[in-house]
């Protein structure tokens, strides 16, 4: 796809850690994308992640039909454990300074390792931050909206494969019970889906029990005999090695960057497994935040935009089917069409 517009690597004055902000595209509007605080073997791996994730945010907005662009911030955490609260505050203030320096070309939000309280702290320095707690005028936790948007995507796939948008009786395997994964598992359980769940944290068993779901160890979930596999944790779970193990008919989940490389989409297609691109499935969080905070639409209209993911997925599957392409290709073409349309000079034919 397109190359990045701007990448900033700035070593924070307080934390001494490199803050990496990747702005992929502002062709459709100012860039948005979360702040990821995570461990990587090397800071360059964090940079590579920021580059990939910000490009995915561009596609997320373009496919959702929203006037926004793609960006992402990554700070590579040292060592293995959590940051102590003081250090964490330093990191967040360093991030806030970098965002402020970008003058509104990019706004951040929550992502892996961050939440609304972190956004509140960033908001003390710069207004370019989504999902602050409601008491501070933000739209709060984005994960319930991401979960609802993911369910909308699942409905479209359910209709195509089984002729019904209801999740009742469908066998689904949810990988990852973080804020989004657990929320989605709850929605699915409430609708009567037959759930298998896992998490790297054994405490997830408690959620499994509460939902009447089957618990499966993390290393067994990919090969679970289910209708739909729902990746809801970290990325790169679909690889040349894992795709042959799958026993599902579709992979549809909100985890970012599920494919280890883009050609894995073709492997899935050849196995007859429907894969809906993660950036389409996971768009609910950012759609709600941008709609309510930036476009100032009411909660109902924002919610309708989130639920429209069902129509988007319907159309992608339809286009893919008609043209013998993967849904990934169909999504990429749609995104490029919208981005090219936006960058055409005014008055051009």
Q: Which is nearer to ligand PHE, 198 or 257 (CB)?
A: 257
CB under 8 Å to 160, separation ≥6 — which residues? 274, 314, 317
CB under 8 Å to 308, separation ≥6 — which residues? 64, 152
286 is a site residue for ligand PHE (CB under 6 A): yes
CB under 8 Å to 165, separation ≥6 — which residues? 155, 156, 158, 159, 310
Binding mask 88-117 for ligand PHE (x = CB under 6 A): ---------------------xxx------
Q: Which is nearer to ligand PHE, 109 or 327 (CB)?
A: 109
8 A C-beta contact, residue 132 and residue 47: no
142 is a site residue for ligand PHE (CB under 6 A): yes
Q: Which is nearer to ligand PHE, 199 or 278 (CB)?
A: 278
8 A C-beta contact, residue 236 and residue 220: no
* C-beta neighbour count of 217 within 10 angstroms: 9
Q: Catalytic: which of 60, 72, 168, 240?
A: 72
- Of residues 255-274, which lie at the interface with ligand PHE (CB under 6 A)? 256
Structure tokens at 166: 């209801």
72 in catalytic set: yes
Q: Which is nearer to ligand PHE, 102 or 289 (CB)?
A: 289
- Select from 12, 181, 285, 327 the one that contacts ligand PHE (CB under 6 A): 285
- Select from 23, 32, 121, 151 the one that contacts ligand PHE (CB under 6 A): 32
Residues binding ligand PHE: what is the number (CB under 6 A)? Answer: 14
Helix extents (H) in the chain: 43-64, 85-101, 116-122, 143-162, 179-190, 204-211, 264-270, 278-281, 284-289, 299-307, 309-323, 327-343
- State which residue has the least CB distance to ligand PHE: 109
Closest distance to ligand PHE from the beta carbon of 126 (Å): 14
Locus of tokens 């910000």: 54
8 A C-beta contact, residue 174 and residue 232: yes
Closest distance to ligand PHE from the beta carbon of 57 (Å): 6
- Select from 75, 131, 167, 334 the one that contacts ligand PHE (CB under 6 A): 131
8 A C-beta contact, residue 130 and residue 290: yes
- Select from 55, 156, 289, 328 the one that contacts ligand PHE (CB under 6 A): 289
* C-beta neighbour count of 229 within 10 angstroms: 28
Q: Which is nearer to ligand PHE, 139 or 196 (CB)?
A: 139
Closest distance to ligand PHE from the beta carbon of 178 (Å): 11
Q: Which is nearer to ligand PHE, 58 or 282 (CB)?
A: 282
Reduce the DSSP state of residue 96 to 3 states and report it.
Answer: helix
130 is a site residue for ligand PHE (CB under 6 A): yes
Question: What DSSP line would sit under 186-236, residue for residue?
Answer: HHHHHTT-EEEEE-SSTTHHHHHHHHTPEE--GGGGGG---SEEEE-SSS-
By CB under 6 A, which span of 20-28, 30-38, 183-191, 310-318 interacts with ligand PHE? Answer: 30-38
Which chain residues interact with ligand PHE by CB under 6 A?
A: 32-34, 109-111, 130-131, 142, 256, 282, 285-286, 289
**Residues belonging to the active site:** 72
């Amino acid at each position: 796809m397109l190359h990045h517009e701007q990448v900033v690597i700035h070593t924070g004055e307080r934390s001494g850690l490199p803050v990496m902000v990747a702005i992929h595209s502002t062709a459709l509007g100012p860039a948005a994308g979360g702040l990821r605080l995570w461990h990587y073997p090397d800071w360059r791996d964090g940079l590579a992640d920021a580059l990939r994730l910000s490009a995915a945010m561009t596609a997320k907005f373009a496919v959702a039909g929203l006037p926004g662009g793609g960006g992402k911030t990554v700070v590579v955490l040292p060592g293995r454990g959590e940051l102590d609260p003081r250090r964490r505050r330093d990191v967040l203030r360093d991030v806030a300074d970098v965002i402020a320096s970008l003058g509104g070309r990019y706004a951040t939000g929550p992502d892996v390792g961050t939440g609304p309280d972190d956004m509140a702290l960033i908001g003390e320095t710069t207004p370019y931050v989504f999902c602050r707690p409601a008491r501070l005028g933000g739209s709060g936790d984005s994960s319930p909206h991401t979960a609802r948007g993911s369910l909308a995507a699942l409905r479209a796939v359910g209709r195509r494969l089984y002729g019904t948008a209801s999740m009742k009786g469908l066998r689904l395997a949810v990988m990852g019970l973080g804020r989004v994964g657990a929320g989605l598992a709850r929605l699915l359980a409430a609708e009567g889906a037959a759930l298998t769940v896992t998490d790297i944290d054994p405490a997830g068993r408690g959620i499994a029990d509460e939902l009447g779901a089957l618990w499966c160890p993390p290393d067994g979930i990919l090969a679970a005999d289910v209708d739909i596999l729902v990746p809801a944790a970290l990325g790169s779970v679909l690889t040349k090695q894992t795709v042959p193990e799958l026993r599902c008919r579709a992979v549809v989940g909100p985890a970012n960057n599920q494919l280890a490389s883009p050609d894995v989409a073709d492997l899935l297609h050849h196995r007859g497994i429907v894969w809906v691109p993660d950036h389409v499935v996971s768009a609910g969080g950012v759609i709600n935040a941008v709609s309510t905070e930036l476009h100032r639409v009411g909660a109902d209209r924002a919610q309708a935009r989130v639920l429209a993911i069902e129509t988007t997925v319907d159309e992608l599957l339809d286009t893919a089917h008609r043209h013998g392409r993967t849904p990934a290709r169909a999504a990429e073409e749609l995104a490029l069409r919208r981005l090219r349309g936006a960058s055409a000079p005014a008055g051009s034919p």
